[in-house]
Structure 1
Amino acid sequence: MVDLILVLILLLSLAAVAWPFLFYPLILRALPAKTEQPLPGTAPTASLLFCAYNEAAAMPEKLANLAMLKARHPGLEIWAFDDGSSDDTAALIEGPGDLVTLIRGPGRSGKAHGMKQLAARACGDVLIFTDANVLLDADAVDNLLARYADPEIGGVLGSLHYVGEDESATASVGSLYWRMEERLKDEESRTGNVLGADGSIFSIRRSLYPDFPDSVLDDLTVSMAVIFAGRRLVKAKDVIARERLVAARGDEYRRKVRIAARAWHTHSHLRPQLRRMKALDRFKYASRKIIRWFGGLFILTGGVAAAALAWRISPLLFGAALLAAVLLAGIAFRARGGLLAALADILIAYAATLQGVMKAMRGRTVTIWNPAKSR
């Protein structure tokens, strides 16, 4: 009986880890598509918003990209919030004259606070959110605004393409993970709503912008407001943003802990509204968010069950398996490329996410951020 329970725990743990990447996508593909119904009319006006902290290295390329977008869209309003940078970020943003309207924060107050300041001042019908180190393709704004011809659409996400995936095992794993994430969003969009946006490139109708505390993940909070308002949150494959991957494990670990902690605070803040969502959207949210946040716990539970099974079969088998696992882990965490290095980075990512969630459950969060040095 004990062996059967251990086998069931192991199988359920494996299924939970695989659910967001295997079973959930298969279910989405079996669902019918929800078509868009655009109406004729003039394109909405737009405001592009981003926050920056110590991004002087990224600013020249970012400002050139913004100048290109402004040339294509003279009416595009561009706002930036400087979160108390200690380098030349603010001066560089102000350098091109009237290209970007800069708001200087009083110090380190965080991205959520900064974005609220910008959204309160923006005048565009559509608010476009992006990051200081993200570059948009030339036709990104055109393609994004075109989707708002359907009055049911309240928010549009873009597609993030990473640059530098060959620079390290961490970057390679990050790129693979993100490609899987993008395909999941494509399927969610096809079947109704995408369940949340990241900060690289997304937009909403300004009238839907919500109020929220500074402690939450503003990308998730703002994008979910579209669904709560009864509108559609969709993804546009032809709205392309580009960002350089984080190459160092330490940078990526800290980033994932920070994001996971704020994501759990956001989940707690949004829980009453999440419960009122349609059944399909609740299923999507649980599959792509909650199950993934606890992936590290499922891996740990499965590992303990597997170890207990090995011990019950033979203490010698248990010892051999434990020794092999320790040796492989040592090799994997020292490797800088190949399959074992990739496996190590996957486990690190799960551990960082679980640590962030556990931190948030204890009432701790992270409101400020620092750019990754290995980008």
Structure 2
Amino acid sequence: MLEVLFWGSVCLLAYVYAGYPVLAIALARIRPRAPRKQAITPSVTVIITAYNEEKDIAQKVRNVLALDYPRQQIDVIVASDASSDGTDRVVRGLDARNVRLLRIEGRQGKTACQNAAAAAASGDILLFTDATTRIETHALRAITRNFHDPSVGCVAGRLSYVAQQDDATGQGGTSYWNYEIMLRMAESDLGSLIGVSGCLYAVRRSAYREIAPELISDFVVAMVVREQGLRTVLEPDAMCYEQTLDHPDRELAMRVRVGMRSLSALASQKRFLNPFRFGAFAWQLWSHKLLRYLSPVFWMLALLANLALALQGRYVWLLALQLALLFSGLLGFTTLRLSGKSRFLTKPYYFLLTNLASAVSLFRFLRGERIVTWTPQR
């Protein structure tokens, strides 16, 4: 039984982090389903949700207004989630007729603000973006050409992380996201993404549905459009940029928040896990999301089973390998992570950090905690 438990846990971990990505990439190459693209310029409402973004909001709006897109076809709504700094004042002071402030009282959270802004929007396409995200000039044109295909309901931009510091947190975040982008491109080619980056994505206004405020909108939106028979695709030419967080505490807090809200979404939208109803989309949800959030459980089972087997004189070398990985990851949390010589720590450190975040998220979710509002980590 110990061997079954050990190898079962190891195989699940191998499937989550290597088997599923390889299988998704292979299937996408065998039978790609690329959207039919054509240059179009529908009206677009850009929705920027902000909470206490006084420092960045003006630059963000200028970035949006500088996009290579017909000016008469674009307007901007800044949805302020009861900001207590000068965010609202800065937006009101901008000299732009197509920019308006929508203040949401009562700190209702990002999703609630997006719902309110979507209800007030007039554009055929809703473009959601964050206050700290820098969008490349041609990104909007790249996104809208996908909506020529009537099967497309949502289009994700391609986020690239820029490390603030040359340390393990920045390097690890960048490496992890490169892995994620590779996987998401395969899922898009398979037919549909199961979630998008909240930094930049667009939805047909006719396909947008109000999302429960306690749920993470950039995850649930793919389910919303899938239920309507539409799909979510990744546009690799729609580039946007975000800085990585510069401290493990901030990175961990961000990943715990995202994890808890994603688990809430999976629980409330569990019907999408039914492969008989949602086919490949359900398989992707199980593999990319649910099993990954359960990976610290599998790792703990593998470690404990391996320890028991090692006490019997079996698989001692595998226990040594697991402990070496764990120790290398723990070193990344020390001051060594700030050293340029610590590059060998990057991957085990970030692997440990993401698994720790998943474990904390799972524990807090099962304990009944929920997160609705957010506070900028920068």
**Normalised by the size of structure 1, how large is the TM-score?**
0.90
The 10-residue stretch of structure 1 (155-164 or 218-227) with the greater mean CA deviation from structure 2: 218-227
Letter of the structure 2 residue corresponding to residue 350 of structure 1: N
Matches within 5 A, 1:153-302: 153-164=152-163, 166-275=165-274, 277-302=277-302
In structure 2, how many angstroms separate the alpha carbons of the residues matched to 1:10 and 1:241? 42
Identity between Structure 1 and Structure 2 (%): 26
Letter of the structure 1 residue corresponding to residue 134 of structure 2: L
User: What is the CA distance between 1:165 and its match in structure 2?
Assistant: 5.9
Partner of 1:17: 13
User: What is the CA distance between 1:87 and its match in structure 2?
Assistant: 1.9
Cα RMSD of the aligned pairs, angstroms, is 2.6
> 1:360 and 2:345 equivalent?
no
Cα distance, 1:34–1:303 mapped onto 2, change above 3 Å: same
> Residue deviations 1:84-103, cap 9 Å, x none?
22222222222213342111
Cα distance, 1:41–1:135 mapped onto 2, change above 3 Å: closer
Letter of the structure 2 residue corresponding to residue 50 of structure 1: I
Partner of 1:116: 115
User: What is the CA distance between 1:369 and its match in structure 2?
Assistant: 0.7
In structure 2, how many angstroms separate the alpha carbons of the residues matched to 1:317 and 1:10? 14
Partner of 1:93: 91
User: What is the CA distance between 1:308 and its match in structure 2?
Assistant: 1.2
User: What is the CA distance between 1:176 and its match in structure 2?
Assistant: 0.8
Q: Partner of 2:73: helix, strand, or coil?
A: coil
Q: Partner of 2:67: helix, strand, or coil?
A: helix
The 10-residue stretch of structure 1 (154-163 or 99-108) with the greater mean CA deviation from structure 2: 99-108
User: What is the CA distance between 1:278 and its match in structure 2?
Assistant: 2.7
Partner of 2:25: 29
CA contact (8 A) 2:260 2:370 kept: yes
Cα distance, 1:37–1:344 mapped onto 2, change above 3 Å: closer
Structure 1 segments of 4 or more deviating over 6 A?
A: 316-327
CA contact (8 A) 1:265 1:360 kept: yes
Gaps of 5+ in 1: none
Letter of the structure 2 residue corresponding to residue 74 of structure 1: Q
CA contact (8 A) 1:14 1:302 kept: yes
User: What is the CA distance between 1:219 and its match in structure 2?
Assistant: 1.3
In structure 2, how many angstroms separate the alpha carbons of the residues matched to 1:156 and 1:176? 23
In structure 2, how many angstroms separate the alpha carbons of the residues matched to 1:71 and 1:234? 21
Cα distance, 1:311–1:203 mapped onto 2, change above 3 Å: same
User: What is the CA distance between 1:318 and its match in structure 2?
Assistant: 11
In structure 2, how many angstroms separate the alpha carbons of the residues matched to 1:319 and 1:71? 57
Cα distance, 1:365–1:287 mapped onto 2, change above 3 Å: same
> Residue deviations 1:8-38, cap 9 Å, x none?
3233322322323311122123321124345
Letter of the structure 1 residue corresponding to residue 13 of structure 2: V
CA contact (8 A) 2:171 2:346 kept: no
> 1:311 and 2:311 equivalent?
yes
Match of 1:67 among 65, 68, 72: 65
Partner of 1:46: 44
Cα distance, 1:121–1:36 mapped onto 2, change above 3 Å: same
**Normalised by the size of structure 2, how large is the TM-score?**
0.89
Gaps of 5+ in 2: none
Partner of 1:125: 124
In structure 2, how many angstroms separate the alpha carbons of the residues matched to 1:221 and 1:175? 24
Figure out how many residues of one structure are paired with residues of the other and give that number: 368
User: What is the CA distance between 1:325 and its match in structure 2?
Assistant: 7.9
